Structure 1
Amino acid sequence: MKKILFVNCCIRGRDSRTEKLCRSFLEKLEGAVTELRLAEEDISPFTAGDILKRDSLLKEEKLDDPMLRYARQFAEADIVVMGAPYWDLSFPSLLKVYIEHVTVCGITFRYGDDGREIGMCAAEKLYYVTTSGGYTEGRNFGYDYIRGLCSMYGIDRTKFISAEGLDIIGADIDAIMEAADLSL
């Protein structure tokens, strides 16, 4: 059975349109879903001390330390579904903090002899699901960033799923959400 990791960065929880779109999509996938609700995780930006500890763990090859759990979980997933609203041309800062915990040399990627990154993640595909009140007009730097990281992680296939214009006066929200859902 495929291991599906749902990285849920939908800050508004069950009231989030992004989360609703994610849940509809997850129902279509076959596999065991593990949900990581970032707003409920004890996750914070790295301090200088955290970086020293992480570097020490990696040097000593203590990859089973709890500090590295997000990287291990991400690397072991067969499919990743990442849900985050479109905020400030990107995504909420909490997702960036999570990504810092995932991007670990020796777990999600490594360097080859030529100095280039070699991906170590098992995932065959990452789905990036988002919604926005207005129109992104091709300026979704959050997805571009995630797609770049996926290349580094060895995840060759990504898909962008978006419902846009949800807060425009007169918008048919149900139709927009249904169209995004059908694109899944």
Structure 2
Amino acid sequence: MAHRRLQKGYVHVYTGNGKGKTTAALGLALRAIGHGCRVFMLQFMKGSKEYGEVQAAEKYLPDLVIVQSGLETFVDKDNPSPEDMRLAREGLELARRVIREGNYDLVILDEINVAVDFKLIPLEDVLDLIHTKPAHVELVLTGRYAHPAIIRAADIVTEMNLIDHPYYHGVEAREGIEY
């Protein structure tokens, strides 16, 4: 299928304490790819190749590029390691370059809201990305704790609201469902 550009790209925010933010972004990516769009996803604070989306993209989806910019371990919000900080900043620079170049129709910045909340990257830099993106680029920012300024800058905001989850009943994260 021929590559096609979007005429107008919007800014989405998927936030909230419920499951499904990354999953919703990946659903949008799959839809966009089906219509000939190119998709780039940068995963902040994630560094494991065990995520199903990373494996699927490598095997089956050449128009979905996923780059991780984090460690395999969780980030300590109160005491992030220098490596966590470095990787988040490198991820932000890569996101800036990818968005500015405009070669992708859909750019997903997965967990960027958490990276801002954890102070791994400055809010102002994320707002700058939003305000300076090329007109044809659709931009998705995922993660809990979306800053009110990011929400105000977005065109589409969805909040996932947790009502119940098997985790609260002793079930660990399941391969293929939670990761």
TM-score class, shorter-chain normalisation, is: 0.3 to 0.5
Determine which structure has more spread, i.e. the larger CA radius of gyration.
1
* TM-score normalised according to structure 1 size: 0.40
Compare relative contact order (CA 8 Å, sep 6+) and give the higher one, 1 or 2: 2
